Chains A and B, each alone.
Chain A
Amino acid sequence: DVQMTQSPSSLSASVGDRVTITCRAGQSISTYLNWYQQKAGEAPKLLISAASNFQSGVPSRFSGSASGTDFTLTISSLQPEDFATYYCQQSYYNPYTFGQGTKLEIK
């Protein structure tokens, strides 16, 4: 299975901060990389697919990028509702695999 390594595993930040979460694939996955947000007690929500295409309704402060096997999720200006856990997922090789998650907490 393709290993996905996310960093950091946790992050403390303040409202208004710019934050970046990184995901590295263990092998080439083209741009078949998706980002999810999960709040406590809720199902995950798809934010970005194919590395940089955001889903309808997702605020424009979220963006994604790719460089080789490295992928980043950037939140340009944190809002209170953004504090959650974020997961990357590769969807190039079955079974699809997730990163271990990044918990974004309020500083």
Chain B
Amino acid sequence: EVLLVESGGGLVQPGGSLRLSCAASGFTLSSSWMSWVRQAPGKGLQCVANIKQDGTVKYYADSVKGRFTISRDNTKNSLYLEMNSLRADDTAVYYCARDRGGSGDFGSDYWGQGTLVTVSA
């Protein structure tokens, strides 16, 4: 059974940092593109970042470019999102998701349960 379990969310002050982790099981992490997708309270979905199987290619939404870093450790079956210079509008549930297809372009077929990040003073 494919499982994705996020952790690391919490309350952080504006300007602060947080590191999210996603533990993957039930499949070979190194064979999949992976994504972080967020959802602000009562709002829609936004792809924050995604990363190629070997970690050599990464893409970011403009709103997080330069502040967030996606990474992975296939030996530990883990995906990460390092978030710096956090702002109030980064408040959201952050989901880890597995992307289908060799190029990760056929949708995200498995999602974690999400971890809530709240940026507030």
Contacts and interface: CB of A to CB of B under 8 A. Distances in A.
Interface string B100-121: 1000111111011110000000
Contact of B50 (A32, A44, A96, A101): A96
B75 to A, nearest CB: 25
Contacts of B45: 36, 38, 44, 87, 89, 98, 101
Contacts of B109: 46, 55
A40 to B, nearest CB: 11
Nearest to A85: B44
Main secondary structure, interface of B, reads strand
A14 interface: no
B95 interface: yes
Interface in B48-107: 49-50, 59-62, 95, 99-100, 104-107
Interface in A33-87: 34, 36, 38, 43-46, 49-50, 55, 87
Interface string A80-107: 0000000101011011111111000000
22 contacts: A32-B105, A34-B106, A36-B45, A43-B95, A44-B37, A44-B108, A44-B111, A45-B111, A46-B109, A49-B107, A55-B109, A87-B44, A91-B104, A91-B105, A94-B50, A95-B49, A95-B60, A95-B62, A97-B46, A97-B47, A98-B47, A101-B45
Closest 5 A/B residue pairs (Cβ): A34-B107, A43-B111, A94-B59, A49-B107, A91-B105
Interface of B: 35, 37, 44-47, 49-50, 59-62, 95, 99-100, 104-109, 111-114
